[in-house]
Each structure stands twice: as C-alpha cells, then as structure tokens.
Amino acid sequence: MSLFTSNINFRFPWRPYQKRVLDNLDLYLKDRQLHIVAPPGSGKTVLGLEVVKRLNTPALILAPTITIRNQWAERLNVDFLNNEPFPHIAFDIKQPDKLTISTYQGLHAAFKDNAEKLIGDLRKQGIKNLVVDECHHLKNEWWKTLFHIQEKLDLQIIALTATPPFDVSGTEWQRYHQLCGEVDAEINVAELVAENNLCPHQDYIYLSMPTDDENIEITRFHSEVNDFIDGLKINFTFRDWIQNHPFLQEPEQHLEAIYEIPDYFSALLIVNEFFNGSVPLGTVEIIGGDIKELPTMDEEWLQLFLNQALFKDDYFLQFEKKATFKSIIKNLKKIGAIERKKVALLEPENINKKLRLSSSKLNSITTIVEQEWQTLQDDLRMVILTDYIRKEEMPTSEMSVKNQEKIGVVPIFERLRKRFPIEVDLGILTGSLVIIPKVSLELFERIIVEKGLEVSNLSTKILPHSVDYLQVEISGELRTKIVELITELFTQGGITVLVGTKSLLGEGWDAPAVNSLVLATFVGSYVLSNQMRGRAIRTQKGNPNKTANIWHLVCLDPTDKYGGHDFRILKRRFKAFHGVSFAQSPMIENGMNRFLLPPFPIHKNTMDNINNKMLIHANNRERLRLDWEKALGNGVLMVEEIKVPIVRQKSYKNIKSNLTKTLERGFYLDLEAIFEAIKKQHLVSIILSVITYILLPNWAIWGLISILLLSNYLLYQVTIDYKVVFNL
C-alpha cells in the first residue's frame, strides 16, 4: 500500500551525512531497525521523513511533545509538499490514517482506553513502520505500550535521537536497546560544524561559593559526620560486630556471597582495619589484593559499608532490635544522613539542594549577562533556562520589591531588571507567565498581524512594580501561538534576554537566533542537558558569522575535596558534550579536561581566576571561530569514555578467587604487572642458567637447572595465555 506519490520529494539538496545514511538504508534496515544518533539541528526530522517516504508504506510517527509533533507536520508540509495538502495524514491516534503523527502520551492513553480497538485501527490502515523520535525519557508504562504495539503489528523501527540515554540503569538501557537496536549511524558535532550545519560554539563553566548562611549548614553537616565517625570509634559493640562478620572469620566458606558483592567485602575490610586495627589473614587475597594496597577508610567507603550493613546484610540485621543498632540509625537520621533507607554521608539531599539552589548563582547570572551584553550589545540573544517559575516572588507593588534569594524565572528576571534597567530588554516565557518590554509592544502587535492573528485578542497589563514591562494575558487563540509569537519577538530583538523554563523551551523549541545560553537548571542527564544545548548551537539563516556561548553554573562545596555534588553533576554532563579545548593547539574534546582546570580542592582565589579566564575566553568570539577551524584540522578526541549501562547478572559466581574483576575503587589483581614480572624472571633464569653451566660444568647440576628453566618457561607461557584471555 503506497503512501507517497512519485511527485513528492525533498525540495533541498541533502547534506553529505544525510546522504550517507540514505545511501546505506537497505544495509541498516536488514535487521528491521534503523537507529540514528545526531545532534539537535542536524536535520533528523527531514531524514526520518525521507526514510518513511522511501519505504512508502503507512507509518506511525511518535514524538515526545506536541511541539515536536507539530514540527514533523511542518517539515513535511514545507520541505516535501511545498505547502500542498497531504490527503492521508492524521494527528488523532484514535482516528489514524496512512500517516499518523502523535505523541507517546497520546498513544498510551488510547491504548489504555481500548487497546484492541487501537491495534485494529492501525492494522486497518496498514501501518508497517514505527518512527520513534527521542524515545529516551519515556515512562515505564509507555514502554510496555510501545513493545505491545510493535509486536502485534510486526512494525519496522526507525529510531532517531540526539543522545542515547547512557546514564540510565542497565534495565532501562536494555529496554531502549531492544526497541532501537544497535546504532547504525552517528553524526558527530565536529562534522556538522565543519559543514556549517551547526555554528562554532563553546561551553563555559562559572563557579560560585555558597552564601554565608548556606555555608554554615554545609559545614555543620560535615562536622556532625565527623562526630558520628568518632562515636563509632568508641562503640565497642559495633566494632565487635564488624570484627566477627562471617566474611572476615570464615571467608573461604562464603566465597560465593563475597563474589556477588566484592565492593562491600572491600568496604568491610577497610572499615574493620580502621575501627579494629587489623585485617584477618587470607581475606585480602580472596579478591586478589595486597594488604599494603588497602585503601584508607574515608566517608565514601563508610557510606558504602553502612548502606549494605544497615539495610541489606542479614548478619547485621540480626541486631536491628538491639539498642546499639537503633542508636546508629537514630544518629544518622538526626544529622540528616539517611534518606529513604539510604545512607548519604557524602552528598545528602539537603546539602545537594543547597548547592543546586544557591542564591550565589543569581550573582553568576548577572555577571554573565553583563559580559555578554558588553560584547554583543543589541545583537545579544540570550536565553536563561531554569526549573521553577516562582510566581509568588513577583512583587505586587514598588514597595514590595525585595532582594531575590531563590533560583527561578521570576527571581532571575527581577535581579536582572534591577541591574540593567535600560541596557537589556528582558522577557519571560513560561506556560503560565509571559512578560515583554513595554517598548516592544508595537513590534509585538505587528508580529501578531503578520501571523494572521487578531490584535484585538491581545491583552496586556503593566507590572505593578515596573512601568517598563507588560504581562501578556494568554488565552484563546493566542494561547496556542504564544511560544511562536514570543520567539519571533525575541528573534527580531524586541527581547534580548529571555528567561524561561526548561520544560517549555528545553527540548523541541526552535529559535536559531540564540547566541548565548545560560543553564540555570539542575538536570544532570546526558539527554536533557544536550537537548537544552541544542537551542543555542543551531545555525541561523542570514547570519553566517553566528557563534554561541553556553554557560553552566556550579556552586562548589568548599568542604568537599572534589568540589561537591553540583560539580560532579556537571562532570557527568560534560562526557556527552564536545567542544574546542583551551590548549594552544586546540582539539575537539569531550569531558572537562579541555578547560585545563587546576587540581581540586579549589579555593575562592582560584575560583575567581577560573571565572575570569572563562569570561576573557568567552569575550573573544572571533577566536572561537578560528579555534574551531584549527581544531577540525587537529581531530576529535574522546577523552572521557561514556560507558554503556549493563544489567548485572550473577557474574561473580564463576570467578576464581585469584582472578577477580577490577573493583571500581580499591585494590585488584594486576595481571599485566604479573606478566611483566614473570617475563623478567624468565629472562633472568636463562642468564643464571648459562652462567651456572659455565662455572659448574656438571651435567647433574645442569639437568636440575634445565628442569627449573623448563617449569619457569611453562609458567611464562601460561601467563601469556592469561594475557590473551584478559586482553592485556
């Protein structure tokens, strides 16, 4: 059953990487799964439409939001149909057609309502292909719907994503991989910049320290943790429980259990050595370690130990009704180090929240806006994305204006409004709050007319505390068009700094004019943070010299030698980001090493130097363009590996006691070192044998030496075999 007629074609030339995918389409679809990974702005939508067109059989296209769903229809209409109507398209999944474009939520709702009818309707339309766009953040029940539909209709899968969800659990990754299959084609950022399909861009980090009030709470928590550890030192009952653990007393009888949780066994050894000053004979060797290499106990090892001991280890749980056990739990709760049956000595949620929501970030945003405005002036098109609106923070009169102490859309707007009363034209765009500059009202009305809408439907009111800004009442026809209208006002310069929520503008929002992006948001996942970056790195028609700066805000924990939770989240983000390094001979790298940061811990003076370095670097946009040109010639370097999540099986059962898996942190059997040592010993044996033969030409002695040499040689060969097996 044909879907497209022969006169429907893509109206523009294919980009080289798009053509490469299309030329290999038959090869990729041999397993009936096409999986394409490409950054935002690379033309995944038109590529997906072309694949559907070439297959020329009815298809169901699923998108994560209504905005992205509408973009599929728009691209089909403009780029393939030249605005001619397409006779067989539907947006209501309950009334499908040959080409149905819907959302995952819409599909799931229809499935829950009447699964049999839904499958019957799709079968009646002859649906053969399923296009899944950005299917990386779906709810669990939605996956069940997808798999059921795919199985019942035997659908071919076309999967498109900007970033595979590498940071999910092993089970979630397995589910994603099962639907989408192996990645068939991956289009990297460097290639897109080289072909002028993405603009030269750079990520920057801007650091801050907690405020005095925030720092008091953070310091107090770590002090209380130290007091807790000191209390355990004199808790002789608890120390006896540790020392008498069966893993330590009778390790050979518990090998299977030990190999199931080797990290806990390591923590048990380390904690016992710290509290009791001893390591039972033969225990370290079980996991291939050396007592001299036993790590020093710290909060991370203690946290690992307590999580298992207090909630999962049957040996310790036999004491849970004892006063000593209860007091440990009580003390942890008292200092805020237990959350939902999980010990958190390093990064408790209350401290993490302090860092994420630190009002110091408001000062960071103000500094960044000032820097970018001085550089770009009226050409500035900045977007600031955050998580909360905080409408309650909006002043109700001039007298109620106060200092803002929370991160959110309204506090950011208010801080900037007071700091830049004339220079910057601010705006707010959220699902429930829209604000524009009063001086831009005439331009806004003109845009409304150009979009074919009635100006009479526009209602505005002056902010009670500022005559320079208007709140736009969004109702009726304007409600569905407000994002498009404000985006156009922003593009034309009626707004130069737009503050909004990541939920509305973070994914699928198309505003190529953005040349500066501030991520005042707390998302740590590869997928969502990369989607937000995608708002800035797109090229803009008519602006061939566009460059983009992307700013990441971090509040450091001065008590943490690694920078704290906020910085750890940022490091995780950056594994999925590629950019130009700060080196004299720049390369395109992922990870944070490209910034050449000094070692941690970082104190305030060092922090200020880092921030100044970032501001100076960001100011020179022409150098950014030249750095990309140089870096494209120098190559792309994957500095920090992104590991594919795995589903843990009972893999430790069959491991021999002297051949263990490397622990994530701690000690391990170094087969490479052993190989080198035996190799050297083998050579030394040959030399000693020759010398002995010369000095003692006795055939009996030579015979014994030959036997020793032969046995050593055999050991050498066995080690070579191990080297091959372990791929050393």
Compute the distance between CA of residue 492 and CA of residue 443 in angstroms, rounded to an integer.
9
**Angle CA 230–231–235, to nearest 5:** 120
Cα–Cα distance measured from residue 202 to residue 615, given in angstroms and rounded to the nearest whole number: 12
3-state secondary structure of 7: coil
Q: How many CB atoms lie within 10 A of CB 4?
A: 20
Q: Does the N-terminal peptide bond of residue 598 adopt cis geometry, omega within 30 degrees of 0?
A: no
What value does the CA radius of gyration of the chain take, rounded to a whole number of Å?
Answer: 31
State pLDDT tens for residues 611-626: 999 999 999 998 888 8
Which residues, 6 or more positions from 592, have their beta carbon under 8 angstroms from its beta carbon? 205, 570, 571, 574, 640
Percent helix, strand and coil across the chain, each to the nearest 5 = 50, 15, 35
- The dihedral through the CA atoms of 278, 280, 286, 292 has a sign that is positive
Residues of the chain with pLDDT under 70: 1, 136-140, 163-173, 282, 286-292, 505-508, 523-531, 634-728
| Angstrom distance (rounded) from CA 479 to CA 121 | 32
Q: What is the DSSP annotation of 346-379?
A: SS-HHHHHHHHT-THHHHHHHHHHHHHHHHHGGG
Q: Does residue 573 contact residue 591 with C-beta atoms inside 8 Å?
A: no
Asked if residue 139 lies in contact with residue 105, where contact means CB atoms within 8 angstroms, the answer is no
DSSP-assigned beta bridge partners for residue 543:
540
Q: At what angle do helices 44-55 and 16-23 cross, to 10 degrees?
A: 30
Residue 371, number of CB atoms within 10 A of its CB: 19
The helix or strand, by DSSP H or E, that contains position 676, with its residue range, turns out to be: helix 671-695
CA distance 707 to 127: 74
Q: Which two tokens stand for residue 107?
A: 């599909």
Sign of the CA dihedral running 593, 599, 601, 604 = negative
User: What is the residue whose two structure tokens read 């994002």?
Assistant: 483
How many CA atoms does the CB half-sphere of 110 hold within 13 Å? 21
Can you tell me whether residue 180 is helix, strand or coil? Answer: helix
SS3 211: coil
Residue 428, token pair as written in the block: 């707010």
Give the Cβ contact number of residue 57 at 10 Å: 16
Which DSSP category does 85 fall into? P
